[in-house]
A and B are shown apart, each in its own frame.
Chain A
Amino acid sequence: MVDTVINVEELGKQYFIDHQRAKGDDLRHAIQAALQAPFRRQQWRGVRKIKEEFWALRDVSFSINQGEAVGIVGRNGAGKSTLLKLLSRITEPTTGKIRYKGRVSSLLEVGTGFHPELTGRENIFLNAAILGMRRSDIARRFDEIVAFSEVEQFLDTPVKRYSSGMYVRLAFGVAAHLEPDILLVDEVLAVGDAAFQKKCLGKMGNVVQEGRTVLFVSHNMAAIASLCTRALLIEGGRLELSSSPQTVIEKYLSKSRANAGVSLLERKDRKGNGRLRFTGVSILNDRMESIETVTSGQNISIVLDYDIHDSNTLHNAVVQIKFSGILGQPLFACLSRSSLRESFTLSPGARLLCKIPRLPLVPGMYTYTLWCTIGGTLEDYVSEAGKVTVAEGDYFGTGNLPSRDVGDFLVEHTWSAR
């Protein structure tokens, strides 16, 4: 039976932005205002009016079922953290209603309440109590926490003497052993070294598998994609989309990948000497017409326009277009040095053309990165220079494509039964 554990109705949180802080909240002005108009509430309201209203979150409604792992995606300042703060009761909503069933633990930061003067052992107890564990539970899981965080040796050392890695491991160790019915997590996986992050992600995965309900804010799209069963996209304080992680991530990235919308000429974050600069990219079909959307299996050509700084012909050029998936994972590269025996000679006013027959990508969104060296030195590098949307296409001539979660690539093959 599906059981709703969190139900949020028309939730809103309003803040007042004080434009003249100096004239606002200090004691002198509170007293002054009270003296000037001790009985007139009007005056008080008048004072408030210089403050601008700001809705950090507005009219958000959703419900979450038992055992769901829900990712919350959105840009900085979109209201994700406000949502978690409301859910965890740190602050009160201005409008709306939240209902939830069971015990909630919120993990908005690793090591909340850690005290630098206290030892590791003392901090485990303190932090666990702060995160809502009972003393008996802490005592029961103490050894597990210590083992997970790998700090046995330093249990009786004040944590102010810990390395930052040890500190984070201990803090996450405590957090990972909470046993709430609902867990709210805010961007805490972005800490520690790679190995530890992997361990944390694994632990999060276990929590999900145990059937706990998890709400998870992160900018790590790969983590959202692999851990969550659903995702919410929040933008400007409103709930934009509630759907599968794939769909939400794509929508989010297509909106927020600021650079992908910026034309190549305006990109300032390039690397390289700059004797050559890419100035434009277009994608052409078989008939050499420029197209917006390509389909799986289509023959495409990518045309690169460039500008040569001193208008001299450049020899020994190597060019590469690298394709990446939406999570930034590299997929394949078209490197001129590997497909072409000799290097390029580039003259001003010409263009580069890269043909890809039968594009082997499953439908989805991809980005490409451009790169060029002349005689071995980097001249231009534009990360995520643009994006390509690949639509459904008849790659195999059968009208069927494999499901996209089994991989990014389509590979020609034959099957037979003998």
Chain B
Amino acid sequence: MTPVEETVIEAGRPGRRYLQDLWRYRELFLFLAWRDLLVRYKQTVVGVGWSVIRPCLTMVILTVVFGNLGSMPSGGVPYPLLVLCGLLPWQFFATALSDSGNSLVSNSGLISKVYFPRLIIPAGGVIIGLVDFLISLSLLVALMIWYHWVPPATIALAPLFVLLAMATSFGAGTWAAALTIKYRDFRVIIPFVVQFGLYISPVGFLSSIVPENYRLLYSLNPMVGVIDGFRWSILGGQHALSLQSLAFSFIGTLSLLITGMWYFRKAERTFADVI
């Protein structure tokens, strides 16, 4: 017989072995992410194609509005390409944030009936965003071929910015999830944040058009650094990466992550009771 492990549950001393538990439940994490991906496009005609069509349409609209109507500077890059490089990380963040925000509430049946480290649920939301993102990268590749765009060597750094986007989404997602379960107001607030965020992040325009005296305020949005960085890695040097905004983004992400985890862990103890 395998050695039996002893578990102790004590009032006021939750999860002394949380990390161990997270590791033990890694399979469940994958199963839940797999379920969400499977379910996502069940009973749809276009199916996974939506992951490409959605950014494609948004790209067209943003190009028309900012590029053609607004005549924003593009720094010598085809405007659609410029938009798409901002749109993909943004949509990753937006999908991950909305999905993780709702994830606990939509899994309330599970939470009130079985134990597992609750953190794997909002984490699943990030995975969905990531998979969507990876699929929609094909659109970017297609567009680069169309415009005969040869990416600079900095493209090797792109995965780093994707990681940063994951961390930002996860930090914001844990906050959103834990808050939504207690205050359902966030079911209204999050879609609004997502909608609003599209215009205060450099998705349809370049960060360089933001006036100098608003830069600091503007850079407080951690997605600014992520998007600027991702765009820089693919479109290259013309869009010089502002180290300041990158540093801001990094600090912002880190604090989102740390406080998100802290709040989540604190709130997690009563999830089953308040759900």
Residues of chain A touching chain B, judged by Cβ–Cβ distance below 8 Å, are: 12, 15, 25-27, 30, 85-86, 88-102, 104, 106, 108-109, 112-113, 115, 117-118, 122, 125-126, 129-132, 134-135, 158, 181
Contact = CB atoms under 8 A, between A and B. Distances in A.
Given A112-B110, A117-B43, 17 more contacts: A15-B273, A30-B183, A90-B111, A90-B114, A91-B272, A92-B269, A97-B10, A98-B8, A98-B9, A101-B4, A113-B109, A118-B38, A118-B42, A125-B31, A126-B32, A132-B114, A135-B27
A131 B114 contact: yes
A86 B8 CA distance: 12
B20 interface: no
A130 B183 contact: no
B182 interface: yes
Contacts of A91: 270, 272-273
B16 interface: no
Contacts of A27: 183, 185-186
Interface centre among A89, A97, A106, A158 (most CB of B within 10 A): A89
A4 B127 CA distance: 42
Instruction: Return the 9 tightest CB-CB contacts between A and B, nearest first.
Output: A89-B115, A129-B31, A27-B183, A91-B272, A98-B9, A27-B185, A112-B113, A117-B42, A101-B4
A93 B9 contact: yes
B14 interface: yes
A99 B183 contact: no
Contacts of A106: 113-115
Interface centre among A92, A104, A117 (most CB of B within 10 A): A92
A108 B113 CA distance: 6
A167 to B, nearest CB: 14
Contacts of A132: 114
Given A94-B11, A97-B10, A113-B109, A85 B272 contact: yes
B249 to A, nearest CB: 28
B153 interface: no
Range class of the B interface residue count: 35 or more
B154 to A, nearest CB: 40
Given A97-B8, A101-B6, A88 B185 contact: no
B2 to A, nearest CB: 9
B114 A112 contact: yes
Interface of B: 4-11, 14, 27-28, 31-32, 35, 38-39, 42-43, 109-116, 182-183, 185-186, 269-270, 272-274
Interface residue SS majority, chain B = mixed
Nearest to A127: B31
Contacts of B116: 130
A109 B113 contact: yes
A132 B9 CA distance: 18
Contacts of B39: 115, 117-118
Contacts of A100: 6-7
Interface centre among B32, B39, B114 (most CB of A within 10 A): B114
A109 B109 CA distance: 10
A47 to B, nearest CB: 15
A25 B182 contact: yes
Nearest to A134: B27
A126 B273 contact: no
Contacts of B8: 97-99
Contacts of B6: 99-101
Contact of B7 (A99, A131, A158): A99
Contacts of A108: 113-114
Contacts of B110: 112-113, 130
B67 to A, nearest CB: 39
Interface centre among A30, A96, A117 (most CB of B within 10 A): A117
Contact of B35 (A93, A101, A126, A134): A126
Contacts of B31: 125-126, 129-130
Interface centre among B5, B6, B39, B115 (most CB of A within 10 A): B115
8 contacts: A25-B183, A30-B183, A93-B10, A101-B6, A109-B109, A115-B35, A122-B38, A129-B31
A130 B114 contact: yes
